[in-house]
Amino acid sequence: MAHPTDQSGAKGEQMKIAMIGTGYVGLVSGVCFSDFGHDVICVDKNPDKITQLEQGIVPIYEPGLEELMVKNVTAGRLSFSGDLAAAVAGADAVFIAVGTPTRRGDGHADLTYVMAAAEEIAQALTGYAVVVTKSTVPLGTNRQVKQVIHKANPKAEFDVASNPEFLREGAAIDDFMHPDRVVVGVQNDRAAEVMNDIYRPLSLRDFPVMMTDLESAEMIKYAANAFLATKITFINEIAALCERVGADVKMVSKGMGMDGRIGDKFLHAGPGYGGSCFPKDTKALARIGQDHAMPMQLTETVIKVNDEVKRRMIDKVVDICGGNVNGKTIAVLGVTFKPNTDDMRDAPSLTIIPALVGGGAKVRVVDPQGRREGEALLPGVNWSEDAYKAAQNADAIVILTEWNEFRALDLKRLAKRMNAPTMADLRNIYAPKDVKRAGFTAYVSIGRAGFGV
């Protein structure tokens, strides 16, 4: 095998990797592995997506991804294909990175795509390879993958591994290149050696690569996401109490976060968690607990409270509009579940905006990246180019996503354009005194005192 210089500056053994699935996880992982110096083929059944990728067009918004992808394609380390068999043939490792959406009716993760990929991989294996599940999957899935491959091709020489991802949308490349840890579940030393070779560019720079058993790796992913969702939901519930007792949740969060046992991450009150991971993974963990007669009572409550948080945000907007949004024009700033992504999955906006439209409001929306998905998901709204155009003759402004361009708005300019200068700041971006000084007559946020309502 060749020995190129990887991105860490150290000599590493080039591995041949097939990445099955070019969604968020698969594409980011494939691009980053190629930047380590490995030979990577990303596979997808959608020919239009493959054509886009071959043209250097990234179908998702992730800062820095397009440039890194083009760099490694140009270097000859990264390619795209619709031919799974050709990609898998001769591969050292085959990563399964297909979708595992929540199954309707029972909350389970839908493993249809994972098992279908496993069957195809089985027929395409030409020598020893490690089949790695990168998708987030319930406990026991990797053993099921092993059974599926063995049944489809009894002569196949392979091992399975679990390698859950911990990427934050909007910061995925940095997370991949500078991880808190890499978790790998394996069953034997041979599979561990292959996985260590793949991640050697990270271990050489002292990033921890944790080897464990299959079930522990699967559980680490769910436990980590459920815990983070719990932190978010806890501070949102504390915020609701702060509003009743006159405390400031930003000060409460700061005071809590200074405790090293707690930390300050994920303690920012807002309109509830969303995205591709937390909603799906909390539901899946709750279902796993039910299936094993060990109810995840805390996680089940987190899911319930998070839904209530989103509905409580609707009440805030209605209240600032005088108790009725019928006929009111409302400018909504941000619809993606977080900044620096175009991901709309389970975003609070998908609960809040339809309720406002259903109440008779005329809703104008601004988002730097959300329109591509949002037009189909949010019927009945009008899209504006910027916050100032959206605010023209509006009766209220609602901040739903904390994009940087919404953090430094000219509040006086906004207030002068509005029919009724009122604001529901659901990300606590602005200080109430600054909003009032700019000419707003009413303001509400999360877990803090407002005015004029």
> Does residue 226 have a pLDDT over 60?
yes
Q: Is 49 annotated as a binding residue?
A: yes
Collapse the DSSP code of 279 into the 3-class scheme (helix H, G, I; strand E, B; otherwise coil) and give the result: helix
In this prediction, residue 5 carries a pLDDT of 37
> Does residue 4 have a pLDDT over 90?
no
In this prediction, residue 101 carries a pLDDT of 80
330 vs 393: CA distance, rounded Å: 9
33 vs 195: CA distance, rounded Å: 12
Q: Is 100 annotated as a binding residue?
A: yes
> Does residue 98 have a pLDDT over 60?
yes
Which listed residue (32, 42, 242, 277) is catalytic?
277
Find the mean pLDDT for residues 199-203.
Answer: 97
> Does residue 9 have a pLDDT over 80?
no
In this prediction, residue 427 carries a pLDDT of 97
> Does residue 303 have a pLDDT over 50?
yes
Spell out the CATH class of 16-211.
alpha beta
Find the mean pLDDT for residues 100-125.
Answer: 86
> Does residue 159 have a pLDDT over 90?
yes
* Contact in structure between 347 and 329 (CB atoms under 8 Å): no
User: What's the mean per-residue pLDDT of the chain?
Assistant: 93
Q: Is 338 annotated as a binding residue?
A: yes
In this prediction, residue 108 carries a pLDDT of 73
Parts of the chain belonging to CATH 3.40.50.720: 16-211, 213-453
Find the mean pLDDT for residues 233-246.
Answer: 97
Q: Is 266 annotated as a binding residue?
A: yes
Q: Which residues contact 302 (CB under 8 A, 6 or more apart)?
A: 226, 229, 230, 233, 282
In this prediction, residue 106 carries a pLDDT of 67
For residue 120, count other CB atoms closer than 10 A to its CB: 18
> Does residue 218 have a pLDDT over 60?
yes
In this prediction, residue 107 carries a pLDDT of 67
Note if 32 is an active site residue. no
In this prediction, residue 317 carries a pLDDT of 97
CATH number of 213-453: 3.40.50.720
Q: Is 451 annotated as a binding residue?
A: no
398 vs 446: CA distance, rounded Å: 12
Tokens describing residue 233: 């939901």
Q: Is 23 annotated as a binding residue?
A: no
Q: Is 316 annotated as a binding residue?
A: no
* Contact in structure between 393 and 418 (CB atoms under 8 Å): yes
The sign of the CA dihedral 161, 162, 167, 169 is: positive
In this prediction, residue 7 carries a pLDDT of 46
